[in-house]
Structure 1
Amino acid sequence: MSTSTSTTQVCDVVGKEDPQVPLWYDANLINFDLTSVDNGIALCPTCHVEFDQTADPGFVLLPADLQYFIIVELDGRQEQKLAMKNGKDVHRKVPTAEEYKIHQSNNGKVPTNAAGGLYRPIFLKNYLLGGRLPSHILDTLSAPKQWHGAPVATLRRGILVLGGARVQSLDAETRSQLELLRDLYFLDDEETSPAVCSRQTQWVARQGQKRPLDDEYGGQNKLPESSNPAIESGNRRAADEGITSRQSPRGALNAPRRWTLGPGLTADEAVSRYAPLLKDRQSKNSLESMSSF
């Protein structure tokens, strides 16, 4: 994964002194040994420095197929719910390096003898050659590459970017997928979280919608064309509305199914769009407070 320099350095993907490691263990997200090769990556010295700048990283690595991790997590949630009904305790399972590679191989992305699945090097800064590296060369370096390590380790680094000003360096779809994964991993007790309750999000994830090949593995700053998927089957639509009516608070059926707070949405539009949900939530909390007296 180095940038073709004569010298490479091996660095930890999840840092030895990362203060959030216990939280990831508690969430059953770390399924690899932090001292093993699954947590190591070879980088050029400059990329190593930028990778380790956790407060303001200039380089991160992400799985090329983030949708796969969303689907695995949503399927796992259903398995956990069924197990709980039967009095069993099922812990979260996240894809291993081998499972991700097999998934990619089954989809024709990598050969069966590949070192690992595909990962996208994302340059949050143009720091190579003092920022003088031509954009077409940077695009070449950003092409997906095989890596042998634990995919969840890269997600730790990627989620960090969401809290910084360089989040603008992520394309819209990657940013949206990372935000959804973060919410699914760490907001599983929030029943009103859009990541948990949004029927539309679950439907899109289970359908496994993919970007066109040139978008999926293209430059990280290319914005995908907007889409508006629709369910053509009447039975499926009826079933979806039935589930929505059971899961959504009163007054929410007139609200949009998709939780979209993109850059094109104004604050007034956001308030108007989700006012029924917020109003019902506030009323519920007020009733609970009154009943406590």
Structure 2
Amino acid sequence: MSPPASLSHSARFENSQPRTDISSTFSDTVKLEVTRLSGAERWNCSTTDPEFAHVVAQEDSQLISLKVQYWIQAGLFPFSLKAAINCIQLCPTCHATYGCFNDPRWVFLPMDLDFFIRYELEHQQRRAQADPPSSRIVPTVKDYRDHLTSKGLVANDAIGELYRGYYLKNFLCGGRLSLDQLRDLTTPKPWHGHPLAAIRQGIAILGSARCYALGRTKIDELTTLRDLYFNDKNLIDAKLFALYHLPPAENKRKRSDEESDHHEKKPKLTTNADNGGTVQDVGNSQDARHLGSQADVSGPVGVQADMYTSTEWVLGPSATGNDAINRFAPVLQSTDVTWLLR
């Protein structure tokens, strides 16, 4: 089932957050080449009004850093960001939701991520055995296409490889598309570009609260790739590695010391006979009194009193003058707080 015609009139500014790049940064030659390879349709929703979007944005701060070009340093981007293999045609709405780096709502990924996991594992073994160690080699466009061809998923003369789109938010047409329409839009389809460009955004969305829309299997595959690509001592600053990566024996001893300190400092507990024998923290008696009086406290309309936890009060409604003195006397005696109370 095809998406409704109203998709072709998606509002350019439906997404209020700024994109990380603009299509005008591609040369006319690159745009013509992308059109030759992919046709005139938009890759995701087949609408009009195309934009030539960077798959890896030029303003990606994790990539174009003044100090370390991290992905390039890791040997993961053997291509120019201005090349056709880093370009995809999207409608303005899909471009905005993909290019919004802080909160992407749509991504596209190679259909077979397991191929890239196995490829990296094999090459890590080869790099470890080489003397001197060799640099990383990642699958090329042809490598991924040959893999899919061997499985009978694409033809020998195919221009692109199979990728699938993933919606992290149901945003097209205000979320009114049917399930069948969404299935149609997310059916795997060919794209001519470099697979690591698409994988870059997939790994980035692991830091988004929306990533769980992908499903557990896809999240696990992306997490595995992230660990394989970046859990590398050579990519970590030597001082930071020495600071945080303790030897196993020392790390175990440090945890043991911390646990011992925690048990020694743990406040004593006492039973409050007036509260049905419940255990109360002596060091938090003010909170205990507040909890006992919550039934008498009325909150905003429609909000139950038990939603107000003890941590929301500094001095609750049952606090006394002595509570205030005991709590703040040490601060008033040791600090000039005049400027704090202005």
Instruction: Settle same-fold status: TM greater than 0.5.
Output: yes
Which residue of the partner structure matches residue 79 of structure 2?
Answer: 32
Q: Are 1:69 and 2:116 an aligned pair?
A: yes
> Displacement of 1:282 after TM fit?
5.0
Deviations 1:245-292 (A, max 9, x none): xxxxxxxxxxxxxxxxxxxxxxxxxxxxxxxxxxx93556549xxxxx
2:107 maps to amino acid: V
Across the aligned residues of Structure 1 and Structure 2, the Cα RMSD in angstroms comes to: 1.7
- Aligned partners of 1:127, 1:161: CA distance in 2, in Å? 17
* Partner residue of 1:10 out of 52, 56, 59: 52
> Displacement of 1:89 after TM fit?
2.8
Percent identical across equivalent pairs?
41
Extract unaligned runs of 5+ from structure 2: 1-42, 64-68, 235-246, 255-342
- The structure, 1 or 2, with the larger RCO (C-alpha pairs under 8 Å, 6+ apart) is 1
Tell whether the 8 Å contact from 2:76 to 2:196 is kept in structure 1 after alignment. Answer: yes
* Partner residue of 2:102 out of 51, 55, 59: 55
Which residue of the partner structure matches residue 277 of structure 2?
Answer: none
- Aligned partners of 2:77, 2:209: CA distance in 1, in Å? 27
Which residue of the partner structure matches residue 164 of structure 1?
Answer: 208
Larger radius of gyration: 2
Tell whether the 8 Å contact from 2:44 to 2:165 is kept in structure 1 after alignment. Answer: no
- Aligned partners of 1:29, 1:283: CA distance in 2, in Å? 34
2:155 maps to amino acid: P
Which residue of the partner structure matches residue 178 of structure 2?
Answer: 134
- Aligned partners of 1:109, 1:189: CA distance in 2, in Å? 37
- Aligned partners of 1:101, 1:169: CA distance in 2, in Å? 27
Which residue of the partner structure matches residue 248 of structure 2?
Answer: 281
TM-score, structure 1 normalization? 0.64
1:71 maps to amino acid: R
Deviations 1:1-55 (A, max 9, x none): 1312122211000001111111001100001111100000011121011111111
> Displacement of 1:58 after TM fit?
1.0
**Count of residue pairs the alignment pairs up:** 195
Displaced runs of 4 or more, over 2 A: 280-287
Which residue of the partner structure matches residue 90 of structure 1?
Answer: 134
1:133 is paired with a residue of what secondary structure? Answer: coil
Tell whether the 8 Å contact from 1:98 to 1:116 is kept in structure 2 after alignment. Answer: no
- Aligned partners of 1:123, 1:8: CA distance in 2, in Å? 19
Tell whether the 8 Å contact from 1:56 to 1:164 is kept in structure 2 after alignment. Answer: yes
Question: 1:155-234 counterparts in 2 under 5 A?
Answer: 155-189=199-233
After superposition, the Cα gap between the structure-2 partners of 1:284 and 1:56, relative to the gap in structure 1 and judged at 3 Å, is closer
> Displacement of 1:175 after TM fit?
0.4
Tell whether the 8 Å contact from 1:2 to 1:8 is kept in structure 2 after alignment. Answer: no
Extract unaligned runs of 5+ from structure 1: 191-279, 288-293
TM-score, structure 2 normalization? 0.55
- Aligned partners of 2:213, 2:155: CA distance in 1, in Å? 30
2:142 maps to amino acid: E
- Aligned partners of 2:44, 2:208: CA distance in 1, in Å? 25
